[in-house]
Chain A
Amino acid sequence: KAGVTQTPRYLIKTRGQQVTLSCSPISGHRSVSWYQQTPGQGLQFLFEYFSETQRNKGNFPGRFSGRQFSNSRSEMNVSTLELGDSALYLCASSWSRQHANTGELFFGEGSRLTVL
């Protein structure tokens, strides 16, 4: 059974640009969550999608957005990139919102974004 797939794995952008990251959840998983991981702040929740609807959102500015498609695949977008957006962006999927709620998350390997 394929795991959570994130693309691209690595990317470099400059300040002011925008970036789109993609996540394909485990087959059958309908809940997709996004987290940002940095050395200073650790793992912080960005948002969660279920059935193509954003169900929960963390404390990030509006430059961070996402969406989910009918096949449960998800994308997140960061506009007007800042140096502080450099981080590992992790996508996690789970069977249902209940499983996401109890922390039974399956993470991808992440997309490492560097902003210069």
Chain B
Amino acid sequence: TQLLEQSPQFLSIQEGENLTVYCNSSSVFSSLQWYRQEPGEGPVLLVTVVTGGEVKKLKRLTFQFGDARKDSSLHITAAQPGDTGLYLCAGARGGTASKLTFGTGTRLQVTL
């Protein structure tokens, strides 16, 4: 059972365009992370959001955690070729559980 669904699965856009990636679940998470993974490398943590409704900005990337802590979104403004990669959301349940539930992934390609 995939607990975190990401949409879209694939996205091909041109440099300068804006985009939004969604991460949805029916479960509540104590925190949610976004990672970016490039070919041949492991995922790299971009941000952690822990409070419902929280918005975090990282240069051209804006992350939002849903009020009910069941969903999140990643918005990229003026995409650049360097943004190309696989974007993964991951949820943590809190308590003593130490495993993350990863989303299905969104593969983004930004062309010139």
> In the complex, what distance in Å separates the CA atom of A103 from the CA atom of B29?
11
Q: For residues 32 through 57 of chain B, which have their beta carbon under 8 Å from a beta carbon of chain A?
A: 32-33, 35, 40-45, 48, 50
> In the complex, what distance in Å separates the CA atom of A55 from the CA atom of B97?
9
Question: What DSSP secondary structure best describes chain A's contact surface?
Answer: strand
Q: How many residues of B contact A (CB 8 A)?
A: 30
Closest to A96 in B: B98
Contact with B along A92-111 (1 / 0, CB 8 A): 10000100111111111110
State whether A48 touches B98 (Cβ < 8 A).
yes
Q: How many residues of A contact B (CB 8 A)?
A: 27
> In the complex, what distance in Å separates the CA atom of A26 from the CA atom of B96?
22
> In the complex, what distance in Å separates the CA atom of A102 from the CA atom of B44?
15
State whether A103 touches B104 (Cβ < 8 A).
no
Closest to B91 in A: A103
